Amino acid sequence: MTAELKLFSISHAKANVDIREKFALNNQEIRHLLHQLKVVLSINEAMIYSSCNRTEIYYSSDTLKTNDILQVLCAYKCLIPSEKYKEYVEVKEGKDTVKHLLCTGIGLNSTLLGDHQVFGQLKKSFEIAKEEGMSKVVLSRLMDRFIHFYQRVSSETEYNYGITSNSYAAANIIQKEYNKNSNKKVLIIGVGEMGSDVCYFLNKFNTKNVWVTNRTMKKAKEMSRTYGFNCIDYGLHSKKLHMFDIVLTTARQQAHSYKSIHFNNKPPQLVIDLCSPRTVSTEICSLGTKLLNVDDLGQQTDHTILKRKRTIPQVESIISEETHYFTENFNQAVYIPSISQATA
């Protein structure tokens, strides 16, 4: 039943970046936490989605397990006592959970309206849940309907017109700074999904003087060959930060790995930190650096965003239709086999 669907969410709706980054999870941590939910809380079906803006757990249960999940999550992240984080938790049940997933997946709930990266991130979260044996009837049908919904929005509206993502917004900001002085040197730290996207857009913008680095240097070298960028050894990059005018980091590390001392007290003019938890200390701002994080990127507006806003009523109408359809048909689909067995 859809009534079994529950949501545990810590997002930018209630928590600032200081709080959100405490609960950020990488893929390995997501797998471990799924195991904890199963073993400790007897939750047999759950999906965990963690990004810069939110950490959310979609799960199936007869009862809400909000406090229990918060305790397990806080214990896992060494955040004790858990009670002080209750005010940041958002809870939903049943069809409200369905609606929330649709809104989140299409980027209506993002700091950057219509963030395209959320769709792929949610699909990855579902794949991890499947691999860990934590996706069964409820979540499988929910994700099937979500993909159908996303396709409807793309075909029936202009909501997905243009490009909006944190990586695009970051590349756009870098390009604007670069245009002021084409001699500026840019360093991209980390070329995973988001870092690769930033490189793609910088190449489209014809940005020059770009260096890339990555823990796996093979990937950094491939990126430099693809776009004609320069490559710098990851083990040396922290000693050469002072050489760059613009630095963007997407590589997850310990919180505040980069401080003023790493820039030889000569920090770049602009630093964009897309990590969660953040890796750049705010102390570099006292040296005159402009430091931006994901919340700052969400404040960027352009023609694409304005056009997208005009389509929101259409999207909300489709959300209502799909939420109603899923709720009604899911309940029937679940109970028909039981009725058939009872009358056999």
Cα 127 to Cα 77, 132, 326, 344: the distances in Å are 23, 9, 21, 36
**227-273 pLDDT tens trace:** 999 999 999 998 999 999 999 999 877 666 898 888 887 779 999 99
Give residue 151's pLDDT: 96
Instruction: Answer for the pair 323, 99: CB distance below 8 angstroms, yes or no.
Output: yes
Report the run of H or E that residue 8 belongs to, with start and end. strand 5-11
CATH homologous superfamily of 166-297? NAD(P)-binding Rossmann-like Domain (3.40.50.720)
Give residue 80's pLDDT: 86
Q: Which of 210, 213, 257 is nearest to 233 (CA)?
A: 213
Instruction: Answer for the pair 150, 198: CB distance below 8 angstroms, yes or no.
Output: no
Distance CA 284, CA 267 (A): 7
Which three-class secondary structure state does DSSP give residue 11?
strand
Distance CA 79, CA 101 (A): 27
Which three-class secondary structure state does DSSP give residue 26?
coil
Residue limits of CATH 3.30.460.30 in the chain: 2-159+311-343
Assign domain 2-159+311-343 one CATH number from 3.40.50.300, 3.30.750.24, 1.10.10.60, 3.30.460.30: 3.30.460.30
Give residue 259's pLDDT: 87
Residue limits of CATH 3.40.50.720 in the chain: 166-297
Instruction: Answer for the pair 276, 24: CB distance below 8 angstroms, yes or no.
Output: yes
Q: Which residues pair with 290 in a beta bridge?
A: 270
Mind listing the pLDDT tens digit of every residue in the chain (344 residues)? Answer: 677 999 999 999 999 999 999 999 999 999 999 999 999 999 999 999 999 999 999 999 999 999 999 999 999 999 988 999 999 999 999 999 999 999 999 999 998 889 988 999 999 999 999 999 999 999 999 999 999 999 999 999 999 988 788 999 999 999 999 999 989 999 999 999 999 999 999 999 999 999 999 999 999 999 999 999 999 999 999 899 999 999 999 987 766 689 888 888 777 999 999 998 899 999 999 889 999 998 888 776 577 888 899 999 999 999 999 999 999 887 665 544 333 333 33
Q: What is the DSSP string of 70-139?
A: HHHHHHHTT---GGGGGGG-EEEETHHHHHHHHHHHTTTTSSSTT-THHHHHHHHHHHHHHHTT---HHH
For the chain, how are helix, strand and coil distributed in percent, rounded to 5?
55, 15, 30
Give residue 331's pLDDT: 66
Q: Spell out the residues 6+ positions from residue 145 whose beta carbon is closer than 8 angstroms to its own.
A: 98, 322, 325, 326
Q: What is the DSSP string of 264-287?
A: TT---SEEEE--SS--B-GGGGGG
Distance CA 20, CA 14 (A): 9
The model's pTM is 0.82
Report the run of H or E that residue 55 belongs to, with start and end. strand 54-60
